[in-house]
Amino acid sequence: MLIVDFFHNRFLWNCNLEDAMKLSKRVTDTPPYLFHLIDEKRKAAQERGMDVISLGIGDPDMPTPDFVLDLMNEEMRKPANHQYPSYKGEHDFCENVAKWFQRRFGAQLDPQHEIMATIGAKDAVSHLPFVFIDPGDTALVTDPGYPVYEAAIGFAGGAPVRIPLEEQRGFLPDLSSIPDHVASSAKFIFVNYPNNPTAAVADQSFFENLVDFSKKHDLVILADNAYSEVYFEPADRPISIMQIPGAKDISIEMHSFSKTFNMTGWRIGFIVGSKALIDAALTLKSNFDSGVFMAIQRAAARALGHPDAPLFNESRTQLFKLRREIISSALKEMGFRFKLPRASYYFWVHIPENYSSSVAFCADLLENQGLIVTPGIGYGPSGEAYFRISMTADDSKIKQAMERLKYFVKGL
């Protein structure tokens, strides 16, 4: 299969699996997950003997810090942690999250009623639409955006309504452009700041406007804050929507230990919100799974207050600032147009002018140079003119990747 055909499978999904078996439309009408396809293509290229560098997926290349491993070693050896966990989250987990939230954001949460553990942030993103969507309902989702937002709405039987994120607006949605009847008929709005893929950061005024807008139209806000601890300058330190007066009653915010402590494989996160919203989420989730392994909960919770956590955060910030400089200098030298990332792991870059398709550009780059970056169309129609570079590879690989990109651009 040609590489370009492989990428097009993500966007021209027309398999006829339903002809062979009785699959649901929620499966047959949903394209394969973008990052699964990218990973499969990487494996296929490597099996052909190609030396592949992937800057396509935001999986931290550095290991989980030693102090977290030590905590996990302690918790793993406690027999009480090997029983079924609480569906909502262990009490000490919720207590530690509440204390961290107070320190980090200055927002008070009731650990008994306003916090729930999740099997990573993606667990929350993919299941929360089921709490609010009935078949035929609509929900607002930013475009470009994390692909799971739209997929989850579709799986729940709803229809996503895309709200474009434009570069001239700092990749913040223009809420005033949404017609009243569209906003009032929707059940919720997904927002994600710091943003994947654009790396944009939202300030307090944006969240204040969002809360006012959502109250006016009776919308729930699903705020994905997975990258809250990945930022570069103190002025860009992300905030929580829970800091906004009145937001807690209409919002659920999602957090992830994957990005905070390089714990992607551990699958641990949490959501916060009012008791009514958390209870609704708990009704769904307690019927879907049995919660998060208690040893992981307790190791993660203790990590939030560990004395080595600030040192780890600072060292990680310096690491990604160095990588940001390597990539931005190379992109400027090559003449690419982009905004310097303020947070998250990502560069959001305009494709070369002689390409009209992000898929074609990324496919050619992989075919010719063995370099994987992510086509912007994978995040929605508004991403077509862009591609995403992830900084989650070691410095030497990033430098090699930039040299390959330079060689490819010269060939254009």
Report pLDDT digits (tens) over 160-184: 999 999 999 999 999 999 999 999 9
SS3 per-residue string spanning 385-408: CEEEEECCCCHHHHHHHHHHHHHH
In terms of phi and psi (left: phi > 0; alpha: psi -120 to 50; beta: otherwise), the region of 262 is left
State the Cα–Cα distance between residues 241 and 218, nearest whole angstrom. Answer: 17
| pLDDT at res. 261 | 96
Phi, psi values for residue 144, rounded to 5°: -75, 160
| pLDDT at res. 355 | 96
- Checking if the pLDDT of 34 tops 80, the result is no
Which pTM value belongs to this model?
0.92
Residues 6+ apart with CB under 8 A from 114: 98, 248, 272, 273, 274, 275, 278
State the Cα–Cα distance between residues 263 and 66, nearest whole angstrom. Answer: 12
- State the DSSP code for 117: E
State the Cα–Cα distance between residues 183 and 398, nearest whole angstrom. Answer: 42
Q: Token digits for 175?
A: 């809420």
Nearest Cα residue to 154 out of 131, 178, 138:
138
- State the DSSP code for 55: -
| pLDDT at res. 1 | 38
Nearest Cα residue to 206 out of 181, 157, 243:
243
Q: Return the amino acid letter for 147.
A: P
Kindly indicate the confidence band of residue 16, based on its pLDDT and cuts at 50, 70 and 90: low
- Checking if the pLDDT of 31 tops 90, the result is no
Task: Please report, for residues 61, 171, 277, 281, 340, the alpha-carbon distance to residue 87 in angstroms, rounded to integers and kept in the order given.
Answer: 31, 36, 15, 11, 41
| pLDDT at res. 6 | 43
Average pLDDT score over residue span 5-20: 48
Ranges of H-type helices in 77-138: 91-105, 121-132
324 touches 341 (CB < 8 A): yes
| pLDDT at res. 33 | 63
State the Cα–Cα distance between residues 137 and 129, nearest whole angstrom. Answer: 10
392 touches 61 (CB < 8 A): yes
The interaxial angle of helices 121-132 and 275-288, nearest 10 deg, is: 100
Size of the chain in residues: 412
| pLDDT at res. 19 | 55
Average pLDDT score over residue span 189-206: 98
Q: For the chain, how far is it from start to end, CA to CA, in angstroms?
A: 24
DSSP string, 239-286: --GGGSTT-GGGEEEEEEHHHHTT-GGG--EEEEE-HHHHHHHHHHHH
Kindly indicate the confidence band of residue 10, based on its pLDDT and cuts at 50, 70 and 90: very low
Domains 3-62+310-411 and 66-304 share a fold: no
Report pLDDT digits (tens) over 258-315: 999 999 999 999 999 999 999 999 999 999 999 999 999 999 999 999 999 999 999 9
CATH number of 3-62+310-411: 3.90.1150.10
Average pLDDT score over residue span 384-412: 96
As a whole-number percent, the residues of the chain with pLDDT over 90 amount to 86
| pLDDT at res. 29 | 79
Q: Which residue has the higher pLDDT, 307 or 32?
A: 307
Report pLDDT digits (tens) over 104-144: 999 999 999 999 999 999 999 999 999 999 999 999 999 99
Phi, psi values for residue 185, rounded to 5°: -90, -15
Q: Token digits for 234?
A: 């103190």
- Checking if the pLDDT of 14 tops 80, the result is no
| Vertex 145: Cα angle to 328 and 370 (nearest 5) | 50
| pLDDT at res. 159 | 97
State the Cα–Cα distance between residues 190 and 210, nearest whole angstrom. Answer: 11
Q: Lowest mean pLDDT of 11-25, 94-108, 119-133, name the range.
A: 11-25
Kindly indicate the confidence band of residue 28, based on its pLDDT and cuts at 50, 70 and 90: confident
The residue ranges of every structural domain in the chain are 3-62+310-411, 66-304
Q: Return the amino acid letter for 100.
A: W
Residue 187 class from Cβ within 10 Å (0-12 exposed, 13-18 middle, 19+ buried)?
buried
| pLDDT at res. 9 | 52
- Checking if the pLDDT of 358 tops 90, the result is yes
| pLDDT at res. 145 | 97
Average pLDDT score over residue span 312-325: 97
Q: Is 149 helix (H, G, I), strand (E, B) or coil?
A: helix
- Sign of the CA dihedral running 148, 153, 154, 159: negative
245 touches 276 (CB < 8 A): no
State the Cα–Cα distance between residues 142 and 206, nearest whole angstrom. Answer: 14
| pLDDT at res. 49 | 74
CATH number of 66-304: 3.40.640.10
| pLDDT at res. 40 | 77
- Checking if the pLDDT of 39 tops 50, the result is yes
